[in-house]
């Protein structure tokens, strides 16, 4: 695991917001999601950019860099690791969906790609059940994807539910799957 860099709580929260988005976002959106006023968010984002933790592909939009991910304790993934994360899993390593404790759905995800598909099929209460218990985080950690596990923890903090949660979870998982596929 990569050692975490020392960041103020506000800068850490801004970096985590950038991590969760996967693509550059406007400072106004960062301010709204972190509960900061725009001038404060802008000051911190500019500071993070100067530190090399964030980048700006166009005026007013910012994304997280590999150095920013490293500051959050997220290791960089190489080609072999990306392939391993994307690989089909043996039956005993599949993700088993449940509605609640003791109520299996008899639905399994045997890869990250399959997970992205199944998220669109299983009930919203199953998704809420697994997210709130930390099951998705644990499974992604077992796959070797610390970044996706961290995103699940951050998503849980957003307290989304129902179809909003499903859509956001699918967007995050699919975006990560595509990024890993580009590396593999």
Is this model's pTM higher than 0.85 or not?
yes
Question: Which pLDDT does position 136 carry in this prediction?
Answer: 98
Give the whole-angstrom CA distance, residue 29 versus residue 61. Answer: 10
What the block records as the tokens of 146 is 């610390």
Phi, psi of 56 (to 5 degrees): -125, 105
Question: In this structure, how many other beta carbons lie within 10 angstroms of the beta carbon of residue 164?
Answer: 11
Question: In this structure, how many other beta carbons lie within 10 angstroms of the beta carbon of residue 6?
Answer: 7
Q: Which residues contact 111 (CB under 8 A, 6 or more apart)?
A: 86, 87, 88, 89
- Across the chain, what does the average pLDDT equal? 94
Domains in the chain, start-ordered, CATH in brackets?
9-71 (1.10.10.10), 79-183 (no CATH)
* pLDDT 10s digits, 126-143: 999 999 999 999 999 999
With a cut of 50, say whether residue 174 has pLDDT above it: yes
Report whether 24 contacts 56 (CB < 8 A).
Answer: yes
Residue located via tokens 């209460």 = 125
Helix, strand, coil distribution of the chain in percent, nearest 5: 60, 15, 25
Question: Which pLDDT does position 6 carry in this prediction?
Answer: 75
Q: Of the candidates 127, 163, 165, 51, which has an alpha carbon nearest to the alpha carbon of residue 18?
A: 51
Report whether 4 contacts 73 (CB < 8 A).
Answer: yes
Q: Of the candidates 165, 180, 102, 173, which has an alpha carbon nearest to the alpha carbon of residue 139?
A: 173
With a cut of 70, say whether residue 5 has pLDDT above it: no
* pLDDT 10s digits, 66-109: 999 999 999 999 999 999 999 999 999 999 999 999 999 999 99
């Amino acid at each position: 695991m990569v050692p975490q860099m020392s960041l103020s709580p506000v800068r850490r929260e801004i970096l985590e917001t950038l991590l969760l988005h996967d693509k550059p976002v406007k400072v106004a959106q960062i301010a709204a999601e972190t509960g900061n006023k725009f001038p404060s968010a802008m000051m911190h984002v500019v500071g993070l950019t100067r530190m090399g933790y964030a980048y700006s592909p166009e005026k007013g939009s910012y994304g997280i860099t590999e150095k920013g991910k490293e500051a959050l304790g997220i290791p960089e993934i190489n080609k072999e690791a990306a392939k391993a994360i994307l690989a089909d899993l043996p039956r005993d390593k599949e993700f088993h969906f449940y509605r609640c404790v003791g109520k299996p759905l008899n639905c399994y995800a045997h890869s990250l790609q399959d997970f992205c598909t199944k998220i669109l099929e299983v009930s919203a209460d199953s998704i809420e059940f697994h997210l709130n218990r930390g099951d998705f985080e644990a499974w992604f950690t077992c796959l070797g994807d610390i970044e996706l596990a961290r995103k699940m923890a951050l998503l849980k903090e957003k307290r989304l539910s129902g179809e909003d949660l499903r859509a956001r979870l699918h967007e995050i998982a699919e975006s990560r799957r595509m990024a890993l596929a580009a590396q593999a």
